[in-house]
Chains A and B, each alone.
Chain A
Amino acid sequence: MLEIRCPWCGPRDQSEYSFGGEAHITRPLEPESLSDQQWGDYLFNRKNPKGRHAEQWCHSAGCGRWFNVLRDTVTYRIEKIYKVGQAPGTGDREG
C-alpha cells in the first residue's frame, strides 16, 4: 500500500485515495472542431509509461481534493506532489 502525501492533509495510506489516471490531459476548448481521430486520442489514448508517470489522485476519504503525483510505475517511488494547474513535476522532491 502506497503512502501518499496529500498537499492539504499530509501523508496518508493509499486506501484513503482514489486514482484518477494520467494527469495533464486538458479538455479541448472546442471539441466540435476536432476530427474523430483527435477526439478519440483525447478520450481513449493514454501514455501508460513504464517509469515516470504524472497522474491524478483524489483524497476521497479525506479532504476530497484532487492533486497531481509524479510517480515511477516500476519502483512506485513518488517523486513529486503538486497541485492541479501546476506544470508537470513542479515542487519539491518527496522524501
Chain B
Amino acid sequence: MNTRRRPSGGRIDRSRPISFSFNGRRYLGYQGDTLASALVANGVRLIGRSFKYHRPRGIFGSGAEEPNALVQVGEGARTVPNLKATQVELFEGLTARTINGWPSLRLDLYGISDKLGGLLPAGFYYKTFMWPRGWWARYERHIRKAAGLGRAPIDADPDHYDKRDVHCDVMVVGAGPAGLMAALSAGRSGATVIIADEQSEFGGSLLSGTGTVSSQPMSSWLAGMVEALSAMPEVRLLSRSTVTGYYDHNFLIIDERRTDHLARPDPRVSRERLWRVRAGQVVLATGAIERGLVFADNDRPGVMLASAVRTYLNRYAALPGRHGAVLTNNDSAYEAALDMQAAGLDVTALIDIRQRPAEGLLERAREAGIPVYPGHAVCGVRSGFSGMTDVELCRLTASGDDVLAYKGSVPCQVLAMSGGWNPTVHLHCQSGAEARFDEKLGCFVPGDSVQRARSAGAAKGIFDLGGCLADGVEAGRMAASAAGIAPAATDIPFAKMQEAMSIEPCWELPDGLPEGRGGKKFVDYQNDTLASDIRLAAREGYRSIEHVKRYTALGFGTDQGKTGNINGMAILARELDQSIAATGTTTFRPNYTPVTFGALAGRGIGTEFFDPVRRTAMHTWHVENGARFEDVGQWKRPWYYPLVGEDMAGAVARECLATRKGVGVLDASTLGKIDIQGADAAEFLNRVYTNNWAKLGIGRCRYGLMLGEDGMVMDDGVTARLGEQHYLMTTTTGGAAHVLGWLERWQQTEWPDLKVYFTSVTDRWAVVSMAGPNSRRLLQTLCDDIDLSAEALPFMSCRQGTVAGIAARVFRISFSGELAFEVNVCADFGAHLWTTIMEAGREYGATPYGTEAMHVLRAEKGYIIVGQDTDGSVTPGDLGMDWIVSKDKDFIGKRSLYRPDTIRGNRKQLVGLLTDDPEVRLPEGAQLVNEASTDYPVAMVGHVTSSYQSACLGHSIALALVKGGRSRKGGEVYAQLMSGEVIRATITDPLFYDPDNALQKT
C-alpha cells in the first residue's frame, strides 16, 4: 500500500483509489495519478531495461521528455506499445508491462551486453553485421529481439477516430502560466481562441509548484483562471491535446486523446480526434524541459530530473526515495532541494558544480538544514539490486574540467539533477524559424518568427513565474492585435519575481579516469548513446550534427532526445573545438510526440471513405449472375461470368465464341464520357486529337487519339457529334478524370478564347454494348423508332431513339470487330435496360461477357489498350497508327513527332507474336531477345504487352513492342522467362482476325 505517499497534499483524489497492474503485479494508486507517479508511490524503481546495454532503468522525468519508462499498455487489439509511463493516466483496471527485458525484467540475459559495452561502440552494428553480404537478415532478427521495443497489436483496431478542421484568431499552445495568460488576454479582446495542452489538466509548471500567485495558493488561482477561460464562449479549451506539428501558413495539428484515460469509455466517443487548425496568430507557450547532467553511471534508477522530483512530491504527493541528493549547475534546483526537505525526503547533499553560488541561495539551503557542496560534482553511483544507494562525491578543480579530490560517498536513493533548461522550441523550429544559442542562459532560444507566431514565457527563455505571467499577457495582447482585434486590458497577476536565473553550463562532468575506464556516461538514455560515442564519431571524421545523430542514434526514439540532445551537441562542439552555435541543432520535425496511425487515418479507412468503390447501374445483376469482378480504377467491372464448374479460361473462351458467333452483351458503363458543347467545340477537338474533326457530320462518330505535348499516346476513344455544337467524347475507364482535367486546362490556360464547355457525364449514362452477328436482330426487337439497317445506320454513326421503352442514344461502334451497337440510357434505367436485353436476347443466344473476353476480342483485332499496350513512351507511329495523324493541322504533341528521338529507326513498334506451339501463351511483360542465349547479359529488344489464348482462332496470340518490329515480320524473337524457359515466337501483323475489317461494317 503506497509506502511512499505523503499523507496529504498534491492533486490526487485520495477518496478514489484505483487498482492497476504492472508486470503482472497489482498495485494501488489514486485518481489523478499517472502510471509513473503511482509506481513511484508504490516504491517501484526498476521500470525497464535499456535498448542496447540492457541496463536497469527507472523513471527519469515526469512528462513527454521521459526516455526510460516505456511501457506497453492494455491487451489485445487495443494495446498500445512504447507509451511513456509519465504520460499514462491511471484508471481502474489498467494493465501495463515493461517492453524490454528477456525473459523477465529482473533476470535479463541480454544484460551481458552491458559488460561487453566496450565492444559495442557507435556504429557497431554497421561495422560488424554488414558482412558477409546478405547475412544482415539473419543477424537482424536477434538484434531486433534484443533491442526490442513494444509490440504493435495484431488484430484490427476496434476503435474509431475522427478529425475536425477549425479556424481561430489565436492558437495558444501550452496552458502553463504564460499560455493561460495569453489565452485570457486574447480572449478578453474578443478573439476566437484555442488553447491546447498535452496534459490532463491545465496549469503546466503551476501543477508542480509551491507558493502563491496574486496572494492566492497556486492551485486555487489556477482553478479560478481555468474557470474564467471556460466561461468565455469564444475560447476553446483542449486538454490531453498535444500540438504535434506546426506546418506552413499557420497550419497546426492537435492530437486529442479522448478516451485513453477512462476505464470504460463510451464506444460512441472517438478514441482520438485530430484537430486541423488554421490559425490567424499562434502563441507558443510550450514551456521548457530540464536537461540532465552527463556523469559516470548517470542512468541508474534513482537518478531523476530535479523538475520531475518536484512534480512527484508536489503534484502527486509521491516520494521517489527516503533520502537523496541534488546535483546542479544552476539556481533552479535549489527549489527542488527545499521541496524535498519539506516533504520529508532527507537531502543528504546539495552538490553545486559552480564554485560560487549566490549567497542568498546558500543561505536558504542552510536555513533548511541542507548541506551544500559548492564546486563539487558526482563522479560515480553505487547501486543495489533495485537502484542507487549512494553517490560518489568529488571536489572539482577551479576550471571544473577535472577532479581535484575524491570526497567519499553520500547516501542517496534519489539524485535530483539539473543541467539547466531547454526552451521547448520544437514547434517554433517546425514553423521554419531558427533557434539561437543564448550563451548567458546556456540554451537555445527561439530566433525570429517566420510565420504569424510568437513564443512566450519559458519557451522564450523566461524562467521565472512572474516573468512568464507578464509575458503571456503581452503575447496574447499582441496576437489579438496582429489578428486585427483591438486588445482589451488584462491585469498581470502578481508572482514573486526572480533575479535572472544563474547557470554555468556544464556538458559533461569529469570522473578523473581515462576514457573507457570509469562508469558509462549517458547522453541519450533511450538509445544508450554515450559521451564517448559522440567523441568517437568526431574522431572518425563526422562533423555535421545531423550525421553524428545518425551514427550514434543521439536523439532518435520516442522521446526524440528531449533531455539529452543539447548535451550531445555541446560535447560534439567541444570535441570539434567549435562553438555550440556553430554546431547547431538537428532538425526539429513533426511530430513532437508520437501519434497513432488511427488518429492520422481518422474516418478515412476502408472502401467507404478511403478508396470508394464505384459500381454501375447493372451491378446487382452481375453479382446475382455469378460474375467475378476486376478493379478498373475505382470501378468494379465484371471480369467473366463462370458457369457452375467452369474455370476462367473456359468462361472466357465461351464468352468470346458466343460473341463472335451469336451476340455478346457487355456492361460498358464505366467508359469515361465527357459532354462537350460550344461554338468552338470542333476546333477544340482538332487541337487535342491527332486527326481531323472539322468535317464530322451530325450523327457520325470518329475514333481519336490524344497525345501529350511530348508526342506520346495519352488516351483514346470514340467521339460522336450529337448536334451542331454538341459532342460526346468517350475516354478509357481509368483515364476519364485525367482527360477532363487535360481538356479544362488547355481551354482555361491556353485557349480561353475558344467557346467550349466540358461536363463529366460518366455516371449519368448506363451503357450496354451488344456485339456479334445477332446484335442487330436483338436490338431490333427492342427498338422500333431507329432504322438499324447498314444503310440508315452505318458503322461509326449514332441516333437518338427509344430502346426498351427508354429514351436512348444508339452508337454503332465496335471494340470487338463485330457488328456492334452501344445503347446509352439514363443511368437510372440501366438495370432495366440490361435485364430487358438479356431476356429478349435469350432466343439469340445472348451471352454476358466481361472485361477479359473484351480484351481477347480486341486483341484479336489488334486494338490497343492505352496503358497496357502503351506506357507513356509510345507514339502513334510506334503503334502503326500514322493513318490517324493529320498532316494538315497542328495538334497537341505534333511537333514532338519530329524530334530526333521520335523519328529514329529502332524505336519499339507494335507487332503481333505467334508462338510455335499454339497452346503456349507468352506471359505479359515477358522480355524479348533476338537469340536464345545464356551468354548474359543479353540485349533486350522488346516486351510482350498483351497475351491471350484465342478460342476463335484456336491458338494463342500476343501483342508486343519490338525494336524495329514492323520491318521484321516473319522473323523470330525469344521470350526469356524468369524460370529460365525460353519460348520462340514469330513476328506478325498485330491483326489476327478479319484483317479486312469487314464484319463490323455489315
Which residue numbers of A lie inside 8 Å of B, CB to CB? 1-3, 13, 18, 20, 26-28, 30-32, 34, 36, 39-40, 43, 56, 58, 60, 64-66, 75-76, 84-85
For A27, give the chain B residue with the smallest CB separation.
Answer: B750
- Assess whether B629 is interfacial by the CB under 8 Å rule: no
Q: Determine if A85 and B752 form an interchain contact, defined as CB atoms under 8 angstroms apart.
A: yes
Give the residues in chain B near A26, CB-CB below 8 Å: 750
Q: Determine if B745 and A20 form an interchain contact, defined as CB atoms under 8 angstroms apart.
A: yes
Give the residues in chain A near B710, CB-CB below 8 Å: 43
For B748, give the chain A residue with the smallest CB separation.
Answer: A66
Q: How far is the CB of A55 from chain B (nearest CB, A)?
A: 12
For B253, give the chain A residue with the smallest CB separation.
Answer: A1
Cα distance A20–B450 when bound, in Å? 26
For A66, give the chain B residue with the smallest CB separation.
Answer: B748
- Assess whether B937 is interfacial by the CB under 8 Å rule: no
Q: Determine if B899 and A3 form an interchain contact, defined as CB atoms under 8 angstroms apart.
A: no
Which of B278, B432, B750 is in CB contact (< 8 Å) with A13?
Answer: B278
Q: How far is the CB of B239 from chain A (nearest CB, A)?
A: 25
Q: How far is the CB of B26 from chain A (nearest CB, A)?
A: 47
Give the residues in chain B near A60, CB-CB below 8 Å: 741
Q: Determine if B895 and A39 form an interchain contact, defined as CB atoms under 8 angstroms apart.
A: yes
15 sampled A-B residue pairs with Cβ under 8 A: A1-B249, A2-B248, A3-B278, A13-B278, A20-B749, A26-B750, A31-B894, A34-B895, A43-B709, A56-B749, A58-B744, A66-B749, A75-B432, A76-B432, A85-B752
Cα distance A79–B432 when bound, in Å? 18
Q: How far is the CB of A70 from chain B (nearest CB, A)?
A: 15
Give the residues in chain B near A28, CB-CB below 8 Å: 895
For B251, give the chain A residue with the smallest CB separation.
Answer: A1
Cα distance A36–B899 when bound, in Å? 6
Give the residues in chain A near B741, CB-CB below 8 Å: 18, 58, 60
For B278, give the chain A residue with the smallest CB separation.
Answer: A3
Q: Determine if A66 and B450 form an interchain contact, defined as CB atoms under 8 angstroms apart.
A: no
Cα distance A56–B710 when bound, in Å? 20
Give the residues in chain B near A76, CB-CB below 8 Å: 248-249, 432
Give the residues in chain A near B749, CB-CB below 8 Å: 20, 56, 66, 84
Q: Determine if B248 and A84 form an interchain contact, defined as CB atoms under 8 angstroms apart.
A: no
- Assess whether B972 is interfacial by the CB under 8 Å rule: no
Cα distance A9–B251 when bound, in Å? 19
Q: B250, B278, B895: which has the most chain A beta carbons within 10 Å?
A: B895
User: A1-B247, A2-B248, A66-B745 are contacts. A32–B895 as well, Cβ < 8 Å?
Assistant: yes
Report B745-758 CB contacts with A as 1/0, cut-off 8 Å.
Answer: 10011101000000
User: A31-B890, A76-B249 are contacts. A84–B899 as well, Cβ < 8 Å?
Assistant: no
Cα distance A39–B741 when bound, in Å? 24
- Assess whether B900 is interfacial by the CB under 8 Å rule: yes
- Assess whether B896 is interfacial by the CB under 8 Å rule: yes
Q: Determine if A36 and B900 form an interchain contact, defined as CB atoms under 8 angstroms apart.
A: yes
6 further A-B pairs in the complex, CB-CB below 8 A; given A28-B895, A31-B894, A58-B745: A2-B249, A3-B251, A13-B251, A31-B895, A43-B896, A58-B744
Give the residues in chain B near A75, CB-CB below 8 Å: 432, 450
Q: Determine if B896 and A1 form an interchain contact, defined as CB atoms under 8 angstroms apart.
A: no
Give the residues in chain B near A56, CB-CB below 8 Å: 749
Which of B250, B251, B450, B899 is in CB contact (< 8 Å) with A40?
Answer: B899
Give the residues in chain B near A84, CB-CB below 8 Å: 748-749, 752
Q: Determine if A1 and B900 form an interchain contact, defined as CB atoms under 8 angstroms apart.
A: no
Q: Please report the total number of B residues contacting A with Cβ < 8 Å.
A: 24
Cα distance A36–B902 when bound, in Å? 11
Cα distance A55–B249 when bound, in Å? 18
Q: How far is the CB of B873 from chain A (nearest CB, A)?
A: 15
User: A1-B249, A2-B248 are contacts. A65–B896 as well, Cβ < 8 Å?
Assistant: no
Give the residues in chain B near A27, CB-CB below 8 Å: 709, 750
Sort A-B residue pairs by CB-CB distance and give the 7 closest, nearest first. Answer: A31-B895, A3-B249, A66-B748, A1-B251, A76-B248, A84-B749, A39-B895
Report B709-730 CB contacts with A as 1/0, cut-off 8 Å.
Answer: 1100000000000000000000
Near A by CB (< 8 A), chain B positions 863-907 give 890, 894-896, 899-900
Give the residues in chain A near B249, CB-CB below 8 Å: 1-3, 76
Q: How far is the CB of B159 from chain A (nearest CB, A)?
A: 25
Cα distance A85–B102 when bound, in Å? 69
Near A by CB (< 8 A), chain B positions 544-602 give none
Cα distance A76–B745 when bound, in Å? 24
Q: How far is the CB of A13 from chain B (nearest CB, A)?
A: 7
Which of A32, A36, A39 is in CB contact (< 8 Å) with B890?
Answer: A32
Q: How far is the CB of B327 from chain A (nearest CB, A)?
A: 44
Near A by CB (< 8 A), chain B positions 396-434 give 432
Give the residues in chain B near A85, CB-CB below 8 Å: 752
For B452, give the chain A residue with the smallest CB separation.
Answer: A95
Give the residues in chain B near A58, CB-CB below 8 Å: 741, 744-745
Give the residues in chain A near B896, CB-CB below 8 Å: 39, 43
Q: How far is the CB of A2 from chain B (nearest CB, A)?
A: 5
Q: How far is the CB of B872 from chain A (nearest CB, A)?
A: 14
Give the residues in chain A near B748, CB-CB below 8 Å: 65-66, 84
Give the residues in chain A near B745, CB-CB below 8 Å: 20, 58, 66
For B687, give the chain A residue with the smallest CB separation.
Answer: A27
Give the residues in chain B near A36, CB-CB below 8 Å: 899-900
Cα distance A71–B328 when bound, in Å? 49
Q: How far is the CB of A50 from chain B (nearest CB, A)?
A: 15
Give the residues in chain B near A18, CB-CB below 8 Å: 741
Cα distance A39–B242 when bound, in Å? 53
Give the residues in chain B near A3, CB-CB below 8 Å: 249-251, 278
Q: How far is the CB of B479 from chain A (nearest CB, A)?
A: 15
Cα distance A13–B248 when bound, in Å? 11
Give the residues in chain A near B744, CB-CB below 8 Å: 58, 64, 66
Cα distance A3–B278 when bound, in Å? 8
Give the residues in chain A near B247, CB-CB below 8 Å: 1
Give the residues in chain B near A66, CB-CB below 8 Å: 744-745, 748-749
Give the residues in chain B near A20, CB-CB below 8 Å: 745, 749
Give the residues in chain A near B248, CB-CB below 8 Å: 1-2, 76
Cα distance A3–B894 when bound, in Å? 38
Cα distance A76–B709 when bound, in Å? 29
Cα distance A81–B525 when bound, in Å? 50
Cα distance A73–B458 when bound, in Å? 32
For A28, give the chain B residue with the smallest CB separation.
Answer: B895
Give the residues in chain A near B750, CB-CB below 8 Å: 26-27
Cα distance A15–B249 when bound, in Å? 13
Cα distance A43–B247 when bound, in Å? 33
Q: Determine if A39 and B278 form an interchain contact, defined as CB atoms under 8 angstroms apart.
A: no
Cα distance A47–B683 when bound, in Å? 32
Give the residues in chain A near B752, CB-CB below 8 Å: 84-85
Q: How far is the CB of A29 from chain B (nearest CB, A)?
A: 9
Q: How far is the CB of B963 from chain A (nearest CB, A)?
A: 22
For B450, give the chain A residue with the smallest CB separation.
Answer: A75
Cα distance A58–B710 when bound, in Å? 22
For B708, give the chain A residue with the smallest CB separation.
Answer: A43
Cα distance A85–B136 when bound, in Å? 58
For A85, give the chain B residue with the smallest CB separation.
Answer: B752
Q: B249, B450, B900: which has the most chain A beta carbons within 10 Å?
A: B249
Cα distance A75–B450 when bound, in Å? 8
For A68, give the chain B residue with the smallest CB separation.
Answer: B749
For A1, give the chain B residue with the smallest CB separation.
Answer: B251
Give the residues in chain A near B278, CB-CB below 8 Å: 3, 13
Cα distance A39–B249 when bound, in Å? 37
For A33, give the chain B residue with the smallest CB separation.
Answer: B895
Q: How far is the CB of A75 from chain B (nearest CB, A)?
A: 7
Q: How far is the CB of B977 from chain A (nearest CB, A)?
A: 37
For B747, give the chain A residue with the smallest CB separation.
Answer: A66
Q: How far is the CB of A32 from chain B (nearest CB, A)?
A: 6
Q: How far is the CB of B892 from chain A (nearest CB, A)?
A: 8
Q: B247, B749, B750, B899: which has the most chain A beta carbons within 10 Å?
A: B749
Q: How far is the CB of B170 from chain A (nearest CB, A)?
A: 16
Give the residues in chain A near B450, CB-CB below 8 Å: 75
Cα distance A84–B744 when bound, in Å? 13
Cα distance A34–B247 when bound, in Å? 44
Cα distance A27–B744 when bound, in Å? 16
Give the residues in chain B near A31, CB-CB below 8 Å: 890, 894-895
